Amino acid sequence: MINRALEILNNKYKVNFSEITISEIEIGVYMTGIKLSDNSYGVAGTNISHDSQCYRDKRDYDIFSTNNIIGQNLNDLFYIQKSTKIIDGLKVAALNALSSKIINTNNYNITENTDPIELLDLSNFHNITVVGAFQSYIRKLKIANKNFKVLELDKEALKIEDYKYYASADTYVDVFASSDLIIITGSTLVNNTLENILDNIPNTATVIVTGPSGSIVPDVLFEKGVDIIGATKIIDSNLMMKLVAQAATGFHFFKHNCAQKICVTNKKSDKNA
């Protein structure tokens, strides 16, 4: 999916990756923030637990290792012949930075200061799946008294009182088959599972991809049948980078007014979205 996003940015929007470099990065506990030389900013989830770089015999000192990242160009980042969790996060953050200008200046159907679920009439949906332990959505669905499941790799990512909603991630095909609304955390783009997830969703289901990590160029997600993208628009880039360094999650960006929620809706969708 990242490769398709790069193809769209390069061919459709004429972005030259070799002319853009990394000016600044913050790799926080939960989020990774990036500033590019074109003065765009992006964020993505940090996913570095158990990374192979933690082991002495796996460490390297290539162009994307510690103290070598700033100043590198995006062409080298996007097409490097290796993958680590740090590099994967940097790629998505950089994609989101590039995409931010495109989302702001092209003819997308955008609703500002809105969460994707607010665009839906939940009474139209009877079997809902949340991919990832997305606490805000779990809370909203509980309040609405909806029937839903949470697909998650780690059951302990849920609160104990929410274990009854848990479904093991390896049951996703069966769970999706009976779902009419599927809400997917954008972090699945960082851990390279989003494309497989979207490929296994029935055409009849309404699909939301939401969260800061999912703020990539909308075209690639719409091609995969996504109906609504819950993206993050950064409005105070300096504060965003400071918050990332202080263990911010997406919630903190909105709480401290350095970002706003925007919804990008697929104009071609004829489903309940």
Domains and CATH numbers, the chain: 2-105 (3.30.390), 109-265 (3.40.50.11590)
11 vs 153: CA distance, rounded Å:
36
Closest CA to 230 of 127, 112, 124: 112
Q: What is the pLDDT, as a whole number, of residue 26?
A: 96
Q: What is the mean pLDDT of residues 113-117?
A: 95
Q: What are residue 167's phi and psi, to 5 degrees?
A: -135, 130
pLDDT band at 262 (very low <50, low <70, confident <90, very high): very high
DSSP letter at 248 equals -
Q: Provide the pLDDT confidence category of residue 105 given band limits of 50, 70 and 90.
A: confident
> Could you report the per-residue pLDDT of 2-25, keeping only the tens digit for each?
999 999 999 999 999 999 999 999
Helix 2-11 vs helix 85-105: crossing angle, to nearest 10: 40
Rounded to 5°, the CA angle 125-180-218 comes to 110
pLDDT tops 90 at residue 83: no
**Digit-coded pLDDT (tens) for 151-168:** 998 999 999 999 999 999
Q: What is the pLDDT of residues 173-208, one digit of tens each?
A: 999 999 999 999 999 999 999 999 999 999 999 999
DSSP 8-state code for residue 185:
E
The residues, any chain, with a CB within 8 Å of residue 103's CB and separated by 6 or more, are: 110, 215, 217, 218, 231, 233, 262, 264
Q: Determine the straight-line distance between the first and last CA of the chain, rounded to whole angstroms.
A: 23
Which strands, in side-by-side order, build the sheet including 109-112?
109-112, 259-265, 228-234, 206-210, 181-185, 128-131, 148-152, 166-168
* pTM tops 0.85, yes or no: yes
Give the Cα separation of 136 and 141 in Å (integer).
9
Long-range CB contacts (within 8 A, 24+) of 78-83: 78/2, 78/6, 78/17
Q: Which two tokens stand for residue 216?
A: 């990539």
